[in-house]
Amino acid sequence: MRIKATKRKQGIGTEVKDATYVEAARWGKHRGWRYVLGLVIILFAWLVVGSGASVLVAFTLGGQADPSVLGIVEYYLFVMASFLFFLAGILLTVSLVHRRHPRTLVTAQERIDWHRVGHGFVAWFVPYCLIGGLGQYLFYPDTFSFNSDLATFALFVPLALALTAIQITAEELFFRGYIVQGASLIWSNRVFLAIASAVIFTLPHLLNPEAIAGGWLTILSNYFLVPGLLWTVVSLIDGTTELAIGVHFANNIG
């Protein structure tokens, strides 16, 4: 086993060859109270500061705090505003509270393997989005509509891709990174870690319109099992969240 310590601006990162990202939970400062403090900081940044930012977006774009008056693009910006602060809270917590590189929420290696992120993206996008979308178009063409406003579409697509990347990065770093690592200090059993992450991932999605409309079957299939449980199991087996990041991005833009 090879151990390499590298000093960085954000603390000391330790790379252990063949170590998993879960094992990185014990690098840096990892006492229990630090994880409790970290959760407080992250949730405050996401739910309080981020919600305030969303309200500000609603006021700026719609003239009032009620997001129901916003158009599709404006409402998307309203929803995504909080994820900027969610991600910032995670990065600051890992860097300042735990004194380790935020990269360790993804991998225990010296750098993230973006090729593997791409593999995860392709593995999900091709069967789920391309083939599934084509099948839906062939059998249910009435469910599709085409936007003739190409100028607006051309401006929205890059913005949507960037904000979606921020959203899925924040969710992966938190639910499959920080939560799994923190839970591993309690019990490193993989079944426990997978279920804990899946349950916590499902909770904030209970208020999604599709979850409310679809009921418990939708919640179980669309949030708890996939992506909650399945993607966590893949990450635990793989030893990184690289594949899950790629899959999550493909799922959200599909």
Spatial distance between the Cα atoms of 187 and 216, rounded to a whole number of angstroms: 28
Q: What contacts 200, CB < 8 A, 6 or more positions away?
A: 175, 179
Question: Judging by DSSP bridges, how do beta strands 3-8 and 11-16 pair with one another?
Answer: antiparallel
Q: Say yes or no to pLDDT of 5 above 70.
A: no
CB atoms < 10 A from the CB of 104, how many?
Answer: 24
The rounded percent of the chain whose pLDDT value lies above 90 is 69
List, for residues 190-228, the tens digit of each pLDDT value.
Answer: 999 999 999 999 999 998 888 888 888 899 988 999 889
SS (H, E, C) 171-214: HHHHHHHHHHHHHHCCCCCHHHHHHHHHHHHHHHHCCCHHHHHH
List, for residues 218-253, the tens digit of each pLDDT value.
Answer: 999 889 998 899 999 999 999 999 999 999 999 999
The amino acid at residue 183 is A
Closest CA to 84 of 112, 45, 57: 45
Spatial distance between the Cα atoms of 186 and 11, rounded to a whole number of angstroms: 24
List, for residues 128-172, the tens digit of each pLDDT value.
Answer: 877 777 777 777 677 666 666 777 778 889 999 999 999 999 999
Q: Say yes or no to pLDDT of 16 above 70.
A: no
Q: Specify whether the CB–CB gap between 65 and 55 falls below 8 A.
A: yes
Which two tokens mark 216?
């418990």
Which two tokens mark 7?
């000093």
Peptide bond into 141 cis (omega under 30): no
Dihedral pair phi/psi, residue 26, rounded to 5°: -95, 10
Spatial distance between the Cα atoms of 108 and 27, rounded to a whole number of angstroms: 10
Q: Specify whether the CB–CB gap between 84 and 53 falls below 8 A.
A: yes
Which two tokens mark 67?
């997001």
